[in-house]
Chains A and B, each alone.
Chain A
Amino acid sequence: MKRFLLLCALLLAQLFPLRVQAQWSRVYDQFYMPAEHNFVFRRDYPAADRLFNAFDYGHAILYEKLWTRPDAPTSLLETREYEFLTTRLLNHPPKLPLVEEAIEPMYARLAPEAKAMFEWAHLLHRQVYDVLADERLSDAAKHAELTRLERYYFTRRDLAFSAQPKNMSLMQEQPYSLAFRQRYPKFNGLIWAYHWLQVGLYEPLVVGQTSAERQALVAGTVARFRQMLPGAPEGYPTVMPMTAAIAPTFASRWPTLAIVFDNLHSMHDVISDILANPEVPRSGKRALILKAAAAYRDDTTEVMTVAGWRKMSLAMGIENQGGPSVGFLPPLPTPTMARGAVMKHDKDGNMIGGHHDH
């Protein structure tokens, strides 16, 4: 027994050296809401579903490289990783969801709490597709299921994004803001295109009147996403796509879900900025990430009215957000604002200024 304990102690000391001020995280995973519609979207819309697996990789590898290779040349992300994502992975997306811990192991160690928030919201994302894609459900049943999904999501207050819309100032007007979009315009554009499709796909599933129509519209929306890729970053959104603009029918019927997804996508950008900004010391990045995560979970920080959020979403210009996800014209829309431009709004969505830099 003594030998056993000694062996364990020696191995622990060698393999897992502890620091004096250890980070202690008790965040934990929870199973997705069990239902008959689980994985319906995967079954019925495999081409779109697989793209989301590729998107997960894109998000994860971005954080991992930003965190582990802070001094790497811009080309690491803007050329090497970007080329892999757009020429290989998006053309042959994985069949199964990917294990993000294996893609971003060091980032996962840095901020497991933030990672868990993303995963919890991504599960919600996927389950909303399942509900809307399930042809067995009537409109009323879909509404009931989405309400149930919302309730399930908010049972994890430690992970759930706020149901209150957050002002874009939380994303764009912090000391660390804009670092990512300015240094990595192509990758940033790709992330915004991801987000365009992630919220945009709700619209064809909602406005399609029949199964065949939904299939055709979803295929069209996916094709539209692919249309953005060549000649990047010109085809990409120039500002963050907002659900109320890209998927207006969905957002009007289920505003809470739309707000959660906008808050989710906004925090994606925030973490990219914190990681990419060299003025934020490495020792301070975790604390800033946790502070931002708390701000996106609470119902008080930088909150807008729902009407103001809708107004702001439309005022940002759908042509700047990648355009509509259904009923679009063949050419991509021409943006009216410079890439990465910042618009300021008050809590009621009134524009109070704008700039491109800090």
Chain B
Amino acid sequence: MARRSFGALRSASLLGVCSALAVSAAHAQTDFYNTDRGRPLETEDALVIERSAFELQLAPLTRTRVTRGVTAWTVAPELAWGLAPRTQLEVSLPIATIEAPATGASTALAGVEVEMLHSLNAETMSLPALAVGAGVHLPAGGAGPERATGVLRALATRTFAWGRMHLNGSSRLGSADDALDPQWSAGLAVDRTFVFRSLLVGAEVVARDVARAAVAPGSGQRVAWQAGVGIRHQLNPRLAGDFGVRRTLSAGESQWTVTAGAAYAFAMPSRGEAR
């Protein structure tokens, strides 16, 4: 029943749901300076979590107004682990609730997301910081995909005197839901750090293809644009909070997404270092 409800809503409001779920794959970095995907912007920097670090995303919440009367909520607890130099592994359990007049509120697990992100290099005078990621969205729960789908990502960050610029691109691997899911996305973001306030302010523009099932006949619209702004603030040495707002710019009914969350960093004593 839950799966049927979500299936119907996906075909009607695909972009909004995708936007909400994208947040669930946030990358963990405690430091407010190291942004994560969806925290607060969808476009993140090319830095990975420190080696040996764990980061727990504390119930990052996203609310998307999909269409008139339809709202999607996502809570995506996530654990990231810096398992090797320049490499992090993260697991996320997005739980989605969709409220619609026709079906009421439906809540279900929206799959399990696993991603490995690897930083290729540290930024230098001649090269930006570069990172690549590979992830899979596994079927689980009433709102999860019917089959596992993979995503490849590439990230770059360049630092300037005024701030940083980030470029992200992702491409979905073959999927049973090709007709529903966007196949690619690209994001460009800038952010500026207010050092003494431990505060980062950023803005972005994201483009993603419009899934075939979501293209209105005769509209010709193939790319959906979204803009967002957000802040990230260090609350104490272990805890960072974030808040962001995004809006769809493409033609049609506007979709607003609001997100807020916090990340807590810690580490486990390794065997060699234990008391």
Contact = CB atoms under 8 A, between A and B. Distances in A.
Interface string A11-30: 11001101101111111111
A111 to B, nearest CB: 9
A15 B167 CA distance: 9
B127 A105 contact: no
A120 to B, nearest CB: 11
B71 interface: no
A24 B125 CA distance: 9
Interface in B106-163: 119, 121-128, 154, 156, 158-161
A186 interface: no
Given A28-B85, A29-B50, A101-B33, A21 B186 contact: no
A19 B122 CA distance: 16
- B86, B193, B196 — which one has the most chain A CB atoms within 10 A of its CB? B196
Contacts of A286: 125
Contacts of B51: 28-31
Interface in A1-46: 1, 3-4, 7-8, 11-12, 15-16, 18-19, 21-35, 39, 42
A25 B171 contact: no
A30 B50 contact: yes
Contact of B122 (A15, A28, A30, A102): A28
Contact of A101 (B53, B119, B121, B159): B159
Nearest to B273: A152
A151 B51 CA distance: 16
A110 B126 CA distance: 9
B119 A11 contact: no
A157 interface: no
A152 B272 CA distance: 9
A108 interface: yes
A1 B159 contact: no
Interface in B42-88: 50-53, 82, 85-86
A1 B178 CA distance: 13
Given A11-B188, A29-B50, A101-B159, A112 B154 contact: no
A19 B237 CA distance: 37
In which size bucket is the chain B interface?
A: 35 or more
B96 interface: no
Given A1-B184, A15-B165, A108 B237 contact: no
B124 A109 contact: yes
Given A11-B167, A102-B33, A148-B273, A4 B184 contact: yes
B183 A1 contact: yes
Interface in A60-103: 68, 94, 96-99, 101-103
Interface string B163-189: 011010101000000000001101010
Given A4-B186, A12-B167, A31-B53, A102 B195 contact: yes
A25 B198 contact: no
A335 to B, nearest CB: 34
B126 A96 contact: no
B169 A4 contact: yes
A194 interface: no
A252 B125 CA distance: 42
Contact of A112 (B123, B237, B272): B123
A63 to B, nearest CB: 14
Contacts of B195: 57, 94, 98-99, 102-103
A106 interface: yes
Given A30-B50, A31-B52, A57-B195, A4 B159 contact: no
A32 B30 CA distance: 13
Nearest to B269: A34
B167 A8 contact: yes
A231 to B, nearest CB: 27
B126 A7 contact: no
Contact of A11 (B121, B184, B186): B186
- B85, B119, B126, B186 — which one has the most chain A CB atoms within 10 A of its CB? B126
A105 B161 contact: yes
Contacts of A97: 237
A102 B202 CA distance: 14
Contacts of B164: 105
Given A28-B85, A28-B86, A30-B51, A99 B119 contact: no
A24 B186 CA distance: 25
A102 B156 contact: no
Contact of B268 (A1, A34, A109, A112): A34
A23 B126 CA distance: 6
A195 B269 CA distance: 30
Contact of A34 (B32, B127, B267): B267
Interface in A125-176: 144, 148, 151-152
B36 interface: no
Interface string A108-119: 111011001000
20 contacts: A4-B171, A11-B167, A11-B188, A16-B156, A18-B126, A25-B124, A28-B122, A30-B50, A30-B51, A31-B51, A33-B273, A94-B195, A96-B236, A98-B195, A99-B195, A101-B159, A144-B275, A148-B273, A151-B272, A286-B125
Interface of A: 1, 3-4, 7-8, 11-12, 15-16, 18-19, 21-35, 39, 42, 57, 68, 94, 96-99, 101-103, 105-106, 108-110, 112-113, 116, 144, 148, 151-152, 286
A-B pairs with the 7 shortest C-beta distances?
A: A23-B124, A4-B184, A102-B193, A34-B267, A31-B53, A112-B122, A25-B122
Given A24-B127, A102-B195, 14 more contacts: A4-B186, A19-B126, A24-B124, A31-B53, A34-B269, A42-B237, A94-B195, A96-B234, A102-B193, A105-B159, A105-B161, A108-B159, A144-B275, A286-B125
